[in-house]
């Protein structure tokens, strides 16, 4: 069997581990031919493709990023894109694609109506059909390590340290890094942020417990409407928060209201780079292996996910929409559900 | 409600996070009184106990080890031990214990027939009733980081590097660190080790792919009976492998048979110390919170575990026995199931 | 002998190691009494002081921050400040102070004309009288680890990644992290930044070598006057660059001129927090020990520094002014001295 | 100019950074031709050589090990070896070699009487002519990180944890990691180890301060003659301690004498692998650059070292012998100089 493989959307730790697994299992153990496309769907449209063997993926397991490159290109938005994808299937005599990507990249395959198996990756962890997506645990760990570092400087200077982490539509990184570091306030997109409550809690912490505090803010979180101003520069053209926008605004508002010295740190792109944790390497390896086996069985149209200890496929149709934090996670005092 | 809390068995990263969660949720949010016992069940027998408040657990979340100390003491093996445990319940007016421990420590509670909620911890991950026990992901990550380091020295010197990791009855650390680092051979207790196959594979790797290789050996693994000698010094008085025993023997045998320069590294106790990963901190925090809620509901006699994204109790009776790697995990070429 | 000890200025990794060394060597081995003042010179003015014994400093060696707290308070700018410092010497019967701080904090002592021994700390490494100040190697390492992470995301997306690191008056962190990560362009305060050269070099890298690049910008660097606009919001009220200001402006200008997708990351406060490297722990320990010995010998008025393998004092008068990168370091192609 | 480059002796973090610097500066900036030999002097004897350009060394800066491979081959001990080295110079039309190695590898060049510039590397830091050799700070940091981890397990179980680190003829790693972690006892080759004093100190620590302790033992350290038995199996055929030998023996003796539960961990090969610290990357880069400049100036026969902030050459004749810890470093209570 001949199969295409590509990575799409934002990069994250573990993509290379997934590519390696698909190629080693597909080519090395099952004798398939794997054709790797450059830069996501763009490589399919533009014909940038190379056959990949086990030797091509040697040594990439612990490395961040993707040797295939990535892009957000969506063929159905490109003139003649859909036809070109079908053409690529024929030219390379592929039975289908293994697509390592987020909702956009995988959903695209469904729209194109070509045979596809999806492997879910996104540091935001907001893809349905899996307990965890590739890259999430590593990103949450990077954020945790860095917020740990902020504690000592918060403590030495009696400051409120506000730290903005990634999480545009879901607060998985913010929740995980916030709980893992014992943050006093955690702001997630799932629950509107009440700056009054936050300031009250911060004052209480400083008065009763220790004269400094840590606030973790998800990139895409917004306050209770009307409760505090969000300046235009903090939002993009669609009214969504910009990277760094909400963190800075929240820090300023807390500083203004409490009178405590407040500083903001925006973790940004470091959260998506570098060597993946063992968790993501093993997850990527297991998902890649099962993706190949599903393709060999010609059970197309699913996303491979982990559920508890098991690796299982879910039909793409059932994984539409964003997987947000369930209420049993965010209904904790730190998320200000007082 | 008044509750006892203790940590028992070998220490691991995340114990402090669990203690903190139990105390903050129990005492800080629910108004219980928490009595911490020193050094596991030994503190119950000897009356070493102190009330714990949120202030006592401040700052311990990211720290390894356990502020309560730990031991392997089993009251039912101590003269008058069972009576003393009941006495301790009365003296401290406790309705029950929250026990953070492995199978031995939690099982003890069942044997004692006192009200108990168990929180599973062990770096070996061999407790049933949970997808993951506290400490496992961190231990597997430490092993992964260190085996990553062995690659460069293996490569520079064209060596076979054998690395022994923890895992007495189950190969979770060996499997995880082995897969995560792309080890050529992985030896786990679940599947007898065939040294002939291993040497054949190592020769093949050196001949065809790269002139060095990595072998990950679980502490408790044993070869196919009769296939290679295990000297007495590698075994303890019960015939079980000693820490470092199997690793050294396997390395020597591979070196002798293949003629390749071979070195052994025994990771040992560093796998159980130091700051826990975000994964274990969040797991410990969630398990601790639910343990308190179950105690408050007086639903005694269970172990709290994570299953997929959910935290749920399982009756202690149903978690007897060792949770070994399921065959779908170890049936991979690296574990030499050729 | 009775001695005061305090930490002043911005916090950094290794302050606790220095405090511990001063207290253990002074109190534990030499029998001095050490009085610790809270929050730098502010604690001297306000009378916040406690005696410190070896037991008070147990376990703080690997921890970031300072158990004494810190501030930028300068007594000579406070009404009656100088008199209060002298009063504190008398009240606590101190022969002098051991001051762990940067130029501002130590220089203050000279201005106050009280007996003082200085221990140099600053992540910026811009204090004279020592090859390295406490905190610098750790900060440079944190920056290096994070820029390493940016490589994979730069590579996956074919981007120019601009990373702003700390360094207000000197480019030690920028130079070290830039060279250590193989950055294509390094911008330091010692050498005006020529955006034309930078863009030319970036285009060359993308054309000839690899389709992505890394630019490291020191917080306090400025472009060749007139070569590119620096908007007001990037500068503070004194016309100095704000944290994050120059990085953002440089990224925008490079993106505009080259047409390459460009992103900025501002590392910020994470560079000054968390556990110090072995280098800084040993340096702090050695400096602390020698500071006590110098105080016991009543050789006041010096800063203790490391020179090669030796620890030696230098008169405070000789360490005035900023220690910038020497030209033999910054005259490398990456700093755009073409 | 045409130059050979090779790496010899044990591998360490930073070798690749040094190779990269030599090639980029020599080939990329100065227009030399660099010929890389495989596996140290062995590649010179056997004719394994390839020209290296900047593109060949792209991306290797942060990676451990050496892309050239290494060996301990000494041409003057090989039949006709010296002639073959001279032949290689002619065949490849080289003016000389840049040799990245320890005393053995660099000293070999002197013995061969060929033009050579040495770049000092060894995790043991025992080469003269430089304050620090490539790899040392990284190795000491790895040991420090791992001993930090041992603290929590020592504390949880009230144990004496003995940790053996590398250091055959000099105690730089043991001193650095021991001081950096606050070890109670540090054993180095420079000062015979008095087990009586050690046990007295350990008992004192457990009695007065905290009920656990940490002992750091250098691989090559030996006790005061006659003070405790060293079994034959702990020594190699030359009577030198084997890797792991002294650590195990010391742990057993301490356990036997004090009655405290004692465990040993042998860090072994993980200390020499993996990504180098920024310190070693910058050091290697600076040394490589100066080595090329010295070769271009035809100033042969020196070792390039760092002295304070300066990079300078020292004649090879002046760097004979082992650089041990100076007494002002090891005359501290932890090294049992009571």
**Cβ contact D40:D306 at 8 Å:** no
**Cβ contact D119:D287 at 8 Å:** yes
| Backbone angles phi and psi of A10, in degrees to 5 | -65, 145
Distance of CA A338 to the CA centre of its chain: 29
- Per-residue pLDDT of chain C in tens (338 residues, 90 and over written 9): 999 999 999 999 999 999 999 999 999 999 999 999 999 999 999 999 999 999 999 999 999 999 999 999 999 999 999 999 999 999 999 999 999 999 888 888 778 889 999 999 999 999 999 999 999 999 999 999 999 999 999 998 899 999 999 999 999 999 999 999 999 999 999 999 999 999 999 999 999 999 999 999 999 999 998 888 888 888 888 888 888 889 999 999 999 999 999 999 999 999 999 999 999 999 999 999 999 999 999 999 999 999 998 999 999 999 989 999 999 999 999 998 76
Distance from A247 to chain C by nearest Cα, in Å? 13
Would you state the pLDDT for residue D244? 87
Band of residue A230 on the pLDDT scale cut at 50, 70, 90? confident
Distance from C147 to chain A by nearest Cα, in Å? 8
CB distance from B179 to chain A under 8 Å? yes
Cβ count near D100 (within 10 Å): 35
Instruction: Mention every residue, 6+ apart, whose C-beta is less than 8 A from residue B98.
Output: B3, B4, B5, B6, B22, B116, B117, B119, B288, B291, B292, B295
Chain A partners within 8 Å of B140 (Cβ): 278
Distance, in Å, from the CA atom of C332 to the CA atom of C313, rounded to the nearest integer, reads 32
Q: Work out the average pLDDT over B244-270.
A: 95
Query: Could you tell me the end-to-end alpha-carbon distance of chain B, in angstroms, rounded to an integer?
Result: 57
**Cβ contact B329:B131 at 8 Å:** no
Percentages of chain D per state (helix, strand, coil), in multiples of 5: 45, 20, 35
CB distance from D64 to chain B under 8 Å? yes
| Backbone angles phi and psi of D190, in degrees to 5 | -70, -20
pLDDT reading at A108 higher than 90? no
Instruction: Mention every residue, 6+ apart, whose C-beta is less than 8 A from residue A64.
Output: A11, A13, A16, A273, A274, A275, A276, C149, C151, C152, C153
Catalytic residues of C: 124
Would you state the pLDDT for residue A217? 97
> Helix count (H) and strand count (E) of chain C?
10, 11
Among D177, D279, D289, the residue with its CB nearest the CB of C137 is D279
Contact A141 B180 (CB under 8 A): no
For residue D255, give Cα distances in angstroms to B74, C86, D251, D259: 24, 53, 6, 5
**Cβ contact D51:D37 at 8 Å:** no
Query: In which order are the strands placed within the sheet that holds C2-7?
Result: C49-52, C33-37, C2-7, C96-101, C116-120, C302-307, C310-315
To the query of whether residue A56 is one of the catalytic residues in this protein, the response is no
Would you state the pLDDT for residue C39? 96
Question: What is the pairing mode between strands A185-187 and A262-266?
Answer: unpaired
Distance, in Å, from the CA atom of D153 to the CA atom of D161, rounded to the nearest integer, reads 9
**Domains of chain A with bracketed CATH:** 2-135+276-319 (3.40.50.450), 138-272 (3.40.50.460)
Would you state the pLDDT for residue B105? 87
Instruction: Mention every residue, 6+ apart, whose C-beta is less than 8 A from residue D113.
Output: none
Instruction: Mention every residue, 6+ apart, whose C-beta is less than 8 A from residue B36.
Output: B4, B5, B6, B19, B23, B49, B50, B51, B52, B56, B68
DSSP C273-313: -SPPPHHHHHHHHHHHHHHHHHHHTT--SEEEEEETTEEEE
Average pLDDT of chain D? 95
Distance, in Å, from the CA atom of C25 to the CA atom of C292, rounded to the nearest integer, reads 7
Band of residue B136 on the pLDDT scale cut at 50, 70, 90? very high
pTM over 0.95: yes
Tens digit of pLDDT for each residue in B275-325? Answer: 999 999 999 999 999 999 999 999 999 999 999 989 999 999 999 899 999
**For residue A218, what is the enclosing H or E element?**
strand A213-218
Q: Which residues pair with C134 in a beta bridge?
A: C121
Q: Which of B11, B39, B124, B126 is catalytic?
A: B124
For residue A253, give Cα distances in angstroms to A196, A211, A220, A330, C223: 10, 19, 17, 23, 33
* Token pair 């400094």: residue: A212
| Backbone angles phi and psi of D236, in degrees to 5 | -90, -170
Cβ count near C127 (within 10 Å): 26
Q: Which residue of C has its CA nearest to D311?
A: C328
The C-alpha torsion from C122 through C124 and C128 to C129, rounded to 10°, is 50
Distance, in Å, from the CA atom of A218 to the CA atom of A172, rounded to the nearest integer, reads 9
Token pair for residue C107? 């220089």
Would you state the pLDDT for residue C236? 86
Distance, in Å, from the CA atom of A284 to the CA atom of B246, rounded to the nearest integer, reads 30
For residue D234, give Cα distances in angstroms to B263, C271, D198, D221, D253: 17, 44, 20, 12, 13
Band of residue A240 on the pLDDT scale cut at 50, 70, 90? confident
Distance, in Å, from the CA atom of C285 to the CA atom of D180, rounded to the nearest integer, reads 8
Q: Number of CB pairs < 8 Å for B and D?
A: 111
Q: Work out the average pLDDT over D94-116.
A: 90
**Cβ contact B52:B86 at 8 Å:** no
For residue A91, give Cα distances in angstroms to A4, A47, A88, A258, D23: 11, 9, 5, 65, 42
| Backbone angles phi and psi of C71, in degrees to 5 | -160, 170
For residue D21, give Cα distances in angstroms to D4, D43, D62, D304: 14, 21, 12, 14
The C-alpha torsion from B55 through B60 and B65 to B68, rounded to 10°, is 0
CB distance from A60 to chain C under 8 Å? no
ipTM: 0.96
Token pair for residue A286? 């297991």
Distance, in Å, from the CA atom of A44 to the CA atom of A338, rounded to the nearest integer, reads 51
**Cβ contact B13:A180 at 8 Å:** no
Distance, in Å, from the CA atom of D295 to the CA atom of D98, rounded to the nearest integer, reads 8
pLDDT reading at A110 higher than 90? no
| Backbone angles phi and psi of B102, in degrees to 5 | -95, -165
CB distance from A13 to chain C under 8 Å? yes
Instruction: Mention every residue, 6+ apart, whose C-beta is less than 8 A from residue D93.
Output: D2
Contact A64 C151 (CB under 8 A): yes
**Cβ contact D134:D329 at 8 Å:** no
For residue B103, give Cα distances in angstroms to B127, B133, D155: 6, 11, 22
Q: Which residues pair with A127 in a beta bridge?
A: A322
Q: Which residues pair with C98 in a beta bridge?
A: C5, C117
Distance from B241 to chain D by nearest Cα, in Å? 17
Q: Which among D27, D18, D40 has a CA at the least distance from the CA of D88?
A: D40
Q: Which residue of A has its CA nearest to B307?
A: A308
Question: What is the pairing mode between strands A160-165 and A213-218?
Answer: parallel
Contact D156 B265 (CB under 8 A): no
Distance, in Å, from the CA atom of D108 to the CA atom of C323, rounded to the nearest integer, reads 40
Chain A partners within 8 Å of B285 (Cβ): 179-180
Instruction: Mention every residue, 6+ apart, whose C-beta is less than 8 A from residue A95.
Output: A1, A2, A3, A115, A295, A298
Would you state the pLDDT for residue A226? 85
Contact C141 D277 (CB under 8 A): yes
CB distance from C150 to chain A under 8 Å? yes
Rg (CA), chain B: 22
Would you state the pLDDT for residue A3? 98
What 8-state DSSP symbol labels residue A127? B
Token pair for residue C218? 């020191």
| Subunit partners of chain D (3 or more CB pairs within 8 A) | B, C
Q: In a 10 Å sphere around its CB, with 0-12 CB exposed, 13-18 middle and 19+ buried, how is residue B77 labelled?
A: exposed
pLDDT reading at A67 higher than 90? yes
Distance, in Å, from the CA atom of A93 to the CA atom of A3, rounded to the nearest integer, reads 8
Would you state the pLDDT for residue C110? 76
Token pair for residue C26? 């002074």
Contact C65 A274 (CB under 8 A): no
| Backbone angles phi and psi of D266, in degrees to 5 | -110, 115
Would you state the pLDDT for residue C200? 96
Q: Work out the average pLDDT over A17-45.
A: 97
Distance of CA A30 to the CA centre of its chain: 30
Distance from B282 to chain A by nearest Cα, in Å? 5
Among C131, C140, C282, the residue with its CB nearest the CB of D179 is C282
């Amino acid at each position: 069997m001949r199969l295409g493989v590509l990575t799409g959307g934002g990069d994250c730790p573990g993509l290379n581990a997934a590519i390696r697994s698909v190629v080693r299992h597909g080519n090395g153990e099952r004798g398939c031919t794997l054709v790797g496309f450059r830069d996501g769907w763009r490589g399919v449209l533009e014909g940038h493709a190379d056959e990949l063997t086990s030797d091509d993926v040697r040594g990439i397991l612990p490395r961040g990023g993707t040797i295939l490159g990535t892009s957000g290109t969506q063929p159905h938005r490109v003139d003649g894109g859909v036809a070109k994808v079908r053409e690529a299937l024929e030219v390379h005599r592929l039975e289908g694609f293994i697509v390592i990507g987020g909702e956009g990249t995988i959903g695209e395959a469904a729209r194109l109506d070509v045979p596809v198996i999806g492997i879910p990756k996104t540091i935001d962890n907001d893809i349905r059909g899996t307990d965890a997506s590739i890259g999430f645990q590593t990103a949450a760990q990077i954020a945790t390590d860095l917020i740990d570092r902020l504690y000592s400087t918060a403590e030495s200077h009696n400051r409120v340290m506000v730290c903005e982490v990634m999480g545009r539509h879901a607060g998985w990184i913010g929740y995980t890094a916030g709980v893992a570091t014992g943050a006093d306030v955690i702001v997630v997109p799932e629950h509107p942020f009440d700056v009054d409550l936050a300031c009250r809690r911060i004052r209480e912490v400083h008065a009763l417990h220790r004269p400094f505090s840590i606030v973790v803010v998800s990139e895409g979180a917004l306050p209770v409407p009307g409760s505090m101003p969000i300046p235009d520069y903090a939002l993009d053209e669609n009214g969504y928060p910009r990277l760094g926008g909400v963190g800075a605004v929240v820090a300023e508002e807390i500083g203004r209201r409490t009178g405590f010295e407040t500083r903001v740190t925006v973790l940004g792109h470091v959260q998506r780079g570098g060597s993946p944790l063992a968790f993501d390497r093993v997850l990527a390896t297991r998902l890649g292996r099962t993706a190949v086996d599903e393709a060999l069985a010609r059970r197309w149209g699913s996303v491979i996910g982990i559920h508890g200890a098991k690796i299982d496929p879910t039909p793409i149709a059932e994984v539409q929409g964003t997987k947000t934090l369930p209420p049993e996670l965010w209904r904790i005092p730190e998320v200000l559900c007082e």
